[in-house]
Amino acid sequence: MSLLIRNGRIITAIDDYVADIFIQGETISAIGKNLSVKADKEIDAAGLLVMPGGIDPHVHLDMPFMGTFSSDNYETGTRAALYGGTTMVIDFILQKQGNSLRSALEEWKGRSDGNAVGDYSFHMAVTDFNENTKTEIKELIEKEGITSFKTFMAYKGALMIDDRQMIGLMEEVKKHGGLINVHATNGDMIDYLIGKHRSEGKLSPLYHYLSQPEVTEAEAAERFADMANYTGCPGYIVHLTCEGALNAVRNATRRNQKVFVETCIQYLILDASLYEMDFEGAKWVMSPPLREKKDQATLWAGINQGLVQVVATDHCPFKWEQKLMGKDDFSKIPNGHPAIENRMELLFSEGVSKGKITLNKYVEVASTNAAKIFGMFPKKGTIAVGSDADIVIFNPDEKHTLSASSHHMNVDYSGYEGWELTGKVKTVLLRGQVAIDDNKCLLEKGYGQFVKRNKVEGKI
C-alpha cells in the first residue's frame, strides 16, 4: 500500500516547508516538491500542517492503583490517543514488591498484547531494588528493549523506594546504558502531612493539594539530581510542576549533567484554584497536584529555555464512581486525570495559537524529544525518509470545544469541559495506515505494536 500526502506544510522540530510525502508500506520513502509518483491513495493537505505523530511518554493504562484500575485499557487508551494525534505512548509497568521485574512484565503483556490500536512501549517501575532485581536490568535493556526505569520517591508504603535503593539502581542502569525516570517528591514529608490533615479532620480534595507543597517537590528534585550526578546516570524527572523543582534542575544543569524534565499539559494550563470547589476538585486530584499561576509561567519559560524537554499527560483516568472512593477522605481518591486525547490540541491552542511557543518547539516537546530521550529516534518523532510514517495532518485554524460527551477516553467527565480550542487534528497515520480520518478511527485493536527501544548511552 502506498500513500501520497500532497502540498502539506511540513513541520518538524527544525523544519518548516511545503512539500509532498510519499509513503510505501510503513515508512516514508520520499519527500519533495511535486513528486511524480503514483500512489494507491492521495491526501490533499494544502493549507494544513503535517507533523510527526505525537508521543506521550507518560500514561497509565489498565493500571492497578489505589484499590482500583485506571479506566482506559490498551484499546480505549491508545485509540483515544490517536483521535488526539498521539500515535505512540509509553506506559509504566509496576513491579510488585517482593516479586521479579520479569513477572511484572508478563502481567503487563497479558493486558497489552493484541489489544492496542496505537503503538506503545513500557518503562519498568522498580519498587523493590535488591540483589535479584539487580540481575534483571541488563536483560530488560538488551533483550526486551525496555531502557528506562521508573522510581517513586513518594507513595510511601506502596511504590516508594529509599535513597539506598535509588543509588544502587542508578549504578546498574548506567552500567547497561539506560535511563532513570523519577516521580520526585518527598514521600516522608507528604506522608506526614496527609496524616496530619486527616487527624485534624481536614478531608476534602483541597487537603490533597496542601499535603504536597512545592517544597516537597523541590527538595526531591534536587536530591534526585545530586544522586544522578554522583552516579553519572542520566535522569528524567516526570511530571515536574513548579518553580522550585525547575530551579533545582537549572542548578544541576550547570554541572553539565543529563537530567531531563517532563511537565504535563495540565500543569501548564490549570491551577490549584480548582481544589476550592468542594468534592468536584477530585477530578484534578493527581500527584503532584496542580500548582500556582507563577509555576505555569515558569514552566512555559522552561520549555523555551530548553530546560523542559517534554510535555506529556500522566494520563491516569478514573471514572467518577472511582473518584467517589475518596468522598469522605482525600487520601482515598484515586490519583490521576484523563488527557491522552487532549494533549496535542490543548498544547497547540494554548501554546502555539496564543504565541507562547513556536511550531517547531511544539513538535519538539510533543514528539521529537521523547523519541530521542527514550531511544526511538529517528524511527519515531520526525518526518524523514526512512522514519515510520506516523503523521498528523492538522488544521491550525479550526475551532472546536472539548467535552466528555464527544471524547473517546473511557471516562465520564472531562478535566477540560467546555474549553474552546483553536487547531484540530484532521487525519492521523500510524505506520502508513490511516488511523483517524474525519473523526473516525479506521484501525482495529491489535494494530498497535510494542516498540523496542535502544540504549540511550552516547545518544542523549
Residues that bind ligand URP (CB under 6 A): 60, 183, 286-287, 314, 316, 335-336
- State the binding partner of 336 from ligand URP, Zn ion, none, CB within 5 to 8 A by kind: ligand URP
| Cα distance between residue 93 and residue 78, in whole Å | 16
Residue with cell 542523549: 460
Q: How far is the CB of 413 from ligand URP (least distance, A)?
A: 16
For ligand URP, which is the closer residue by CB, 336 or 448? 336
Q: Pairing relation of β-strands 49-52 and 16-24?
A: unpaired
Nearer to ligand URP among residue 208 and residue 356 (C-beta)? 208
CB of 417 to ligand URP, least distance (A): 19
Q: Which does 286 bind (CB under 5 to 8 A by kind): ligand URP, Zn ion, none?
A: ligand URP
Q: How far is the CB of 92 from Zn ion (least distance, A)?
A: 6
CB of 265: closest distance to ligand URP in angstroms? 13
HSE of 357 in the Cβ direction (CA atoms, 13 Å)?
Answer: 28
Separation of alpha carbons 427 and 84, rounded Å: 10
Identify the CA nearest to 59 among candidates 87, 96, 97, 99: 87
Binding segment toward Zn ion, per CB under 5 A, in 176-184, 393-401, 424-432, 447-455 = 176-184
Least separation, in Å, of the C-beta of 308 and ligand URP? 17
First to last CA, the chain: 35
Pair 155, 194: CB distance under 8 Å: no
Number of H helices, E strands in the chain: 15, 19
Q: Which option in Zn ion, ligand URP, none does residue 19 bind, with CB closer than 5 to 8 A by kind?
A: none
Q: Pick the closer one to Zn ion by CB: 410 or 422.
A: 410
Would you give the binding string for Zn ion spanning residues 288-317, x where CB under 5 A is met?
--------------------------x---
Could you tell me which of 183, 244, 238, 192 has the C-alpha nearest to residue 219? 244
Of the pair 101, 240, the CB lying nearest ligand URP is at 240
Asked if residue 341 lies in contact with residue 419, where contact means CB atoms within 8 angstroms, the answer is no
Cα gap 435→79, rounded to integer Å: 9
Name which of 336 and 432 has its Cβ closer to ligand URP. Answer: 336
ω into 317 cis (within 30 of 0):
no
User: Which 8-state DSSP code applies to residue 129?
Assistant: -
C-beta of 26: minimal distance to Zn ion in Å?
A: 30
Please state whether 349 falls in left (phi above 0), alpha (psi between -120 and 50) or beta.
alpha
Give the residue with the Cβ less far from ligand URP, 23 or 373.
373
Binders of Zn ion: how many residues, by CB under 5 A?
A: 2
Between 70 and 349, CB nearer to Zn ion: 70
* Three-class secondary structure of residue 10 per DSSP: strand
183 vs 323, beta carbon nearer ligand URP: 183
By C-beta, is 175 or 223 nearer to Zn ion?
223
Q: Is the peptide bond before 378 cis (omega within 30 degrees of 0)?
A: yes
Please state the closest distance from residue 219 (CB atom) to ligand URP, in A: 17
How many other C-beta atoms can be found within 10 angstroms of the C-beta atom of residue 333? 24
CA distance 455 to 424: 35
Site for Zn ion in 179-198 (CB under 5 A): 183
The distance of closest approach from Cβ of residue 72 to Zn ion in the complex, given in angstroms and rounded to an integer, is: 13
Q: What is the residue type of 460?
A: I
What are the beta bridge partners of residue 24?
2, 27
The residue among 316 and 352 lying less far from ligand URP, judged by its C-beta, is 316
> Residues 429, 406: contact at Cβ < 8 Å?
no
**In angstroms, what CA-CA distances link 44 with 17, 28, 427?**
15, 17, 11
Shortest Å distance, C-beta 63 to ligand URP:
8
380 binds, among Zn ion, ligand URP, none (CB under 5 to 8 A by kind): none
In sequence order, the 6+-apart residues with CB closer than 8 A to the CB of 440 are none
Closer to ligand URP by CB, 53 or 288: give it: 288
CB of 316 to ligand URP, least distance (A): 4
263 binds, among Zn ion, ligand URP, none (CB under 5 to 8 A by kind): none
Q: Which residues pair with 94 in a beta bridge?
A: 125
Please, what is the minimum distance in Å from the beta carbon of residue 57 to ligand URP? 12
The site for Zn ion (CB under 5 A) is made up of 183, 314
